[in-house]
């Protein structure tokens, strides 16, 4: 290019390259290949353990659910042909919808109050007060108690003859005579929900308290300087900070409660008159009382599909939490 002022010729500035971008060099490609092989090699033991502990039992359950006839030997299924009859029987059963509804009611009846109690306790334990170090582990203690032990304790407390619950309610005048909480179809479901709430609320307290402690105190100080009320502080600072963890905890707990067995069967066995028969109890009944293993495993697959729906419903928040 010639300059009009000096009459000299200068070289044109280099323009953008229009050719294809150079690919990785052979040494870089070999290094990438080694890193990829190393990653797969380190993952291989974990994948093998997952395959043994999860994939194979899932395969066995799926295989059993597709076998027809009476299954007498789980190690030899050659005499049981493949069929969709178990799924047809389960999905056309008149009791399936009632079991699903009871399972959903039981799940909501546990998760909603357990979350409310857990959130309230987390907000309380996040504040400084005398004895907080002692109260914190005591509040979380129910989570460490085995479910069967909790069921045995509440079975005694809710007993219609000598239960302490009837005694307390009679003392304060709420009832005139003893109530058979676990033997009455009108109260049995509520009677199994109460111990389940007692068992699960510490999980919400633990998760939400950990999330509350990650909120900078300067945000609350700035909000108080601006004259924000405690309600507005919770709405604009606390809840946005714990919303993701709350959704994750609710989804995990809902899946666990939906297939809960430890509390219902020891307390009521699914009765009276199937008032507390959830999907988990029905699976146990089909498998170990009627010995219909094909029907029981088909019910298990249906239950797993419903739990998968719960996961998909809360998947966006879960992915945001782990991203």
Q: What is the pLDDT of residues 76-119, one digit of tens each?
A: 777 788 888 889 988 888 888 899 999 999 999 999 999 999 99
Distances, alpha carbon 222 to alpha carbons 102, 218, 321, in Å:
47, 6, 27
Going 260 to 295 to 71 to 81, the CA torsion angle's sign is negative
- Split at pLDDT 50, 70, 90, the class of 8 is very low
- Distance CA(160)–CA(39), nearest Å, equals 61
Number of C-beta neighbours around residue 149 at 10 A: 12
pTM (predicted TM-score): 0.80
Between CA 1 and CA 319 the distance in angstroms is: 57
Q: For 94-322, CATH number?
A: 1.10.3720.10
Provide the pLDDT confidence category of residue 19 given band limits of 50, 70 and 90.
low
CA distances from 232 to 102, 225, 237, 238 (A): 37, 13, 8, 9
Cis peptide before 272 (omega within 30 of 0): yes
pLDDT mean over 297-307 = 90
Structure tokens at 244: 């993701």
Contact 299, 281 (CB under 8 A): no
Closest CA to 114 of 194, 219, 186: 194
**Residue ranges covered by each domain of the chain:** 94-322
Backbone angles phi, psi at 212, to 5 degrees: -65, -35
**Is 185 in contact with 256 (CB distance < 8 Å)?**
no
With tokens 């302490």, the residue in question is: 164
In this prediction, residue 4 carries a pLDDT of 45
Element (DSSP H or E) covering residue 256: helix 239-258
Length of the chain in terms of residues written: 323
């Amino acid at each position: 290019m010639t300059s009009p002022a000096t009459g000299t010729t200068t070289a044109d500035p280099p323009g953008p390259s229009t050719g294809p971008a150079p690919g990785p060099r052979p040494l870089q490609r070999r290094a990438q290949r080694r890193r990829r092989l190393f990653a797969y090699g380190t993952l291989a033991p974990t994948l093998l353990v997952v395959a043994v502990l999860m994939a194979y039992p899932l395969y066995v359950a799926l295989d059993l659910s597709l076998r027809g006839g009476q299954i007498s030997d789980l190690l030899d299924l050659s005499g049981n042909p493949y069929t969709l009859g178990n799924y047809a029987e389960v999905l056309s059963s008149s009791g399936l919808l009632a079991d699903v509804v009871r399972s959903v009611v039981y799940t909501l009846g546990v998760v909603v109050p357990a979350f409310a109690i857990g959130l309230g306790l987390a907000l309380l334990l996040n504040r400084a007060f005398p004895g907080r170090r002692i109260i914190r582990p005591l509040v979380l203690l129910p989570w460490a108690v085995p479910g069967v032990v909790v069921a045995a304790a509440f079975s005694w407390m809710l007993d219609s003859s000598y239960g302490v619950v009837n005694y307390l309610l009679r003392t304060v005048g709420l009832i005139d005579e003893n109530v058979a909480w676990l033997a009455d179809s009108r109260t049995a479901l509520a009677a199994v929900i109460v111990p389940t709430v007692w068992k699960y609320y510490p999980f919400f307290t633990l998760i939400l308290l950990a999330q509350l402690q990650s909120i900078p105190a300067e945000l609350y100080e700035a909000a108080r300087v601006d004259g924000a009320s405690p309600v507005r502080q919770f709405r604009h600072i606390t809840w946005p900070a714990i919303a993701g963890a709350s959704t994750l905890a609710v989804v995990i707990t809902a899946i666990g409660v939906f297939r809960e067995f430890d509390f219902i069967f020891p307390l009521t066995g699914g009765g009276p008159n199937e008032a507390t028969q959830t999907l988990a109890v029905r699976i146990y009944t089909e498998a170990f009382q009627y010995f219909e293993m094909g029907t029981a495993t088909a019910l298990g697959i249906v239950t797993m599909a419903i739990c998968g729906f719960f996961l998909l419903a809360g998947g966006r928040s879960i992915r945001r939490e782990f991203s």
